[in-house]
Amino acid sequence: MKLIMLGAPGAGKGTQAKKIAAKYGIPHISTGDIFRENIKGNTQLGLKAKGYMDQGLLVPDELVLELIMDRFKAPDCKDGYVLDGFPRTIPQAKALDEALEKNNDRVEYAIDVDVADQVIINRMAGRRACLNCGRTYHVDTLKSKVEGICDYCNTELVLRDDDKPETVKKRLEVYHEQTQPLLDYYRKKGILHSVDGTGDIDKIYDEIIHILKA
């Protein structure tokens, strides 16, 4: 099972991606994780990516795609994967499809977690992050055992700058301009399925599983 998770930042697609991956025994693949793994492992691709990131530059699409296709070769991807955070633009989506077609492969599902902007702005304002281990929490829906402290490494949790309302609004503007057109792209391919992302996390998950079983 090979699927892509779509949705605005803060829509909850990462949470659902992890639950789906766990159920089907397939990896949850995010571009951030791929960058970190390759940089930590000092791979040739990782060093290339680090060169751009150290300069504060975006990693070029060609290199991101190369990293993703390399990740797909890993044994844990033999039964599929949940791709989260890529593609973000139409050119990236087309490049991914072309790369997969060369291996007689294709994406089977594109799941869009649909949430209104204002709901996302309010939701992100409640997020808290551990800058040490990267885990995230929420003041209402995913509380740490000790308020303001990470359960795993006892580090203080913070509201990241990119979760602040003014930053989220800008991120949503970019999403609507660059990423939302992907919905039409995958709709035309007949693999797009949208779910309402404003409800209970488990109900959203159940709806996605129903789609995947159909």
Question: Of the candidates 200, 42, 204, 11, which has an alpha carbon nearest to the alpha carbon of residue 122?
Answer: 11
Decide if 187 is catalytic.
no
Decide if 123 is catalytic.
no
Cα separation, 22 vs 19, whole angstroms: 5
Catalytic residue among 13, 19, 71, 128: 13
Question: Of the candidates 106, 88, 114, 91, which has an alpha carbon nearest to the alpha carbon of residue 195?
Answer: 114
Catalytic residue among 36, 88, 135, 187: 88
Decide if 106 is catalytic.
no
Catalytic residue among 18, 160, 169, 187: 160
b/e per residue 97-106 (b: at least 16 CB within 10 A): beeeeeeeee
Decide if 171 is catalytic.
yes
Catalytic residue among 36, 50, 169, 171: 171
Catalytic residue among 2, 19, 123, 127: 127
Decide if 88 is catalytic.
yes
Cα separation, 101 vs 92, whole angstroms: 14
Cis bond leading into 87, ω under 30°? yes
Residues with a known catalytic role: 13, 88, 127, 160, 171
